[in-house]
Amino acid sequence: MIKFQSINFKEKYGPWALVAGGALGLGECWCNELARRGLNIISIDRDPEALKKQESVLRNDFGIEVISIQADLSNENVIDVIKHRTGDIEVGLMVFSAAMTTDPAIVRPHLFHEGSLSYHQKLINLNISAVSDFSYHFGQLMKKRKKGGIVLISSGADGQGAPFNAHYGASKGYQTLLGEALWFELKPYNVDVIAAPLGMTNTTAMDKFQDKENLARLKPMDPTEVVIEIMQNLGKQPQIIPGRKNRIGQLIMKRFMGRESAIRAMANIFLDKFLIGEKQYDIYRK
């Protein structure tokens, strides 16, 4: 486990932290680690049962205040609901951990044109529009207070085209670049921003990984360690790729491979790890 030694997180980023996609997976780890440091939590998720369970755990284990907001972040103009529920609460840290990857009707990774048009619109709503709206609203309030932090959870799929996950990869590129720009723009106002393009992390997304034996050998990062490493680097740099192995892998993909080779490598990851036995994709295989 990574040891956390840093500033007083509650003093710098409190009194409230808002986590979009907070009830499960990586978002749940964010809520736990922030609550452990004394921040009150606003957790946004579409799963009411997960929110209810989480609220009880956070209150009982950490003695903090909790606001649970059930909301589908893929709905248009969801920021209006969040503004209404948060009102005058001082949100000192905003973490956007929610994301949409594939068409729920398909579940597995798929070609761009296999996804429905409504799925693509919802992905844009969640991965792009909501990220923009949340960053604008809460970032503006932090700027006025001259205090705060924003964390945008991106993906290593952001650096090149991601065949079979095309729209997800494109949206993650948006998140990474937005975070880096805001890092510079908000720095004079004492607002820290960091983009975090994750590598392989042991969250619910790994449920789609078909080669379970190989998954264990690849040793995806523990989500709590991911969260702590991001927290350690917030305020120090515009971007962090958690995990040394992930940093090396992304460096090779983004810097040393030619563009075509990087795209092919990304395609092969999905073909070999997520699309086993899907014969319709044989045309793309080596």
Number of domains the chain contains: 1
Instruction: Label residue 205 exposed, middle or buried (CB < 10 Å: 0-12, 13-18, 19+).
Output: middle
Classify residue 105: in a domain, yes or no.
Answer: yes
Amino acid at 139: G
pLDDT per residue as tens digits for the range 222-238: 999 999 999 999 999 99
Classify residue 21: in a domain, yes or no.
Answer: yes
Classify residue 152: in a domain, yes or no.
Answer: yes
Whether residue 260 has pLDDT greater than 80: yes
CA-based nearest residue to 203, from 217, 227, 228, 220: 220
95 or 251, greater pLDDT: 95
Going by their DSSP bridges, the two strands 148-155 and 66-70 should be labelled as unpaired
pLDDT per residue as tens digits for the range 87-98: 999 999 999 999
Neighbours of 115 (CB within 10 A): 19
Classify residue 283: in a domain, yes or no.
Answer: no
Residues 95, 96, 101: CA angle, nearest 5 degrees: 150
pLDDT per residue as tens digits for the range 103-122: 999 989 999 999 999 999 99
Classify residue 2: in a domain, yes or no.
Answer: no
Classify residue 281: in a domain, yes or no.
Answer: no
CATH for 109 = 3.40.50.720
pLDDT value at position 2?
45
What is the DSSP code string of 6-23?
-S-HHHHH-SEEEEET-S
For the entire predicted model, the pTM comes to 0.92
Classify residue 63: in a domain, yes or no.
Answer: yes
Q: pLDDT over 90 for what percent of the chain?
A: 81
Classify residue 282: in a domain, yes or no.
Answer: no
CA-based nearest residue to 94, from 16, 23, 195: 16
pLDDT value at position 4?
45
pLDDT per residue as tens digits for the range 14-40: 999 999 999 999 999 999 999 999 999
188 or 272, greater pLDDT: 188
Domain of 71 in residue numbering reads as: 10-276
| 238 prior amide bond cis, ω within 30 | no
Q: What is the Cα–Cα distance from 38 to 29, expressed in whole angstroms?
A: 14
Q: Strand locations in the chain, DSSP E?
A: 16-20, 40-45, 66-70, 91-96, 148-155, 191-198
pLDDT value at position 3?
47
The residue-averaged pLDDT of 113-138 equals 98
Q: Strand locations in 112-254, DSSP E?
A: 148-155, 191-198
